[in-house]
Copies of this chain bind each other. A is one copy, B any other.
Amino acid sequence: MYQFEELQQRFETYFNRRHFPDQPKSLYDPCEYFLTLGGKRIRPILCMMGNELFDEIVPDAYQVASAIELFHNFTLIHDDIMDKAPLRRGMPTVHALHGEATALLAGDVVLVGAYEHLNRIDPIYMKSIIALFNTTAKEVCEGQQLDMDFEQLNDLTLDQYLHMITLKTSVLLAASLQMGAILGGAGAGNQQHLYAFGKNLGIAFQIQDDYLDAFGDPEKFGKQVGGDIMANKKTFLMIHALETATPVRQEELKMLMRENPADKVPRVLEIFRETGIEQWALALKDQYLSVAFQHLEDIAVVGSRKQPLMRLAQYLVQRDK
């Protein structure tokens, strides 16, 4: 059994190479640039862990893991266009460097590159893996669309936000694990438990992310603290505050989002704190975590095989950066 760091190293050794042809440079160099920006490669490693939960890692796991990482990068390149984001992982985004048209096309070919990896795997599980991959790909697009739709919505409920965030981020974590499970020869029941583990873990992770954006240590948190508040993003925290603050404070929150005063972040944080939001968010996170771990427990393999996944899950939701 390998721990996260070992799998990360093995995956990086396989993945860190040129993925696309040399020409035309104007299309493929932006793709290569974006892929070298890195990230923690969590999704491909979840795929490899999903495989190893049931059996030794098969060579095809590297193909599927690469497809997943390319897919993830495709979504980031396109999301950055839609969000007009200037930076990703502290570096200029593809559209910031090369314009929206090239970034759009770069995302497109990176997605095609993902399918090239999927086309190399053993036919015995190719259909089931591509089917799950396609379903997930559509769901991630749905999540991104809902995210944009919800920006226009005044009264977003927590349920709506949960549905959106599940599609936008959790299903890919879940599917990465399940694709690994398919490669490892898992039965349908075990696959479903592993998928549910990933989905609930993903939601806990998002709650953590929203929480850290507001209350994280600026030294440790990679991004600007309060960035979501500045951008009027609807997060778990903002939705909860809009639902539970006193009527006067709700009006104040709406005014702050409308008028963007210079002291917006501290004033929003003050209202957040008044609603007891820190305890609420941490309790909600723990709730999803415990559902996740129950599903992991229900998987019919010896407990020791689950240890690397358990450790990774703990790391993901306790990270402070």
* Chain A residues with a Cβ under 8 A of chain B: 20-21, 23-24, 26-27, 78, 81-82, 100-102, 104-105, 107-109, 111-113, 115-116, 119, 123, 126-127, 130-131, 134, 137-138, 141-142, 144-146, 148-149
Contacts and interface: CB of A to CB of B under 8 A. Distances in A.
A25 to B, nearest CB: 9
A114 B148 CA distance: 24
A134 B108 contact: no
A253 to B, nearest CB: 26
25 contacts: A20-B138, A21-B138, A24-B142, A24-B146, A24-B149, A27-B141, A78-B105, A104-B104, A105-B141, A105-B144, A105-B145, A108-B108, A109-B142, A111-B111, A112-B138, A112-B141, A113-B138, A115-B130, A116-B131, A116-B134, A119-B130, A119-B131, A123-B123, A126-B126, A126-B127
Describe A's contact surface by its main secondary structure: helix
Contacts of A109: 137-138, 141-142
Given A27-B145, A149-B24, A119 B108 contact: no
Contacts of A126: 123, 126-127
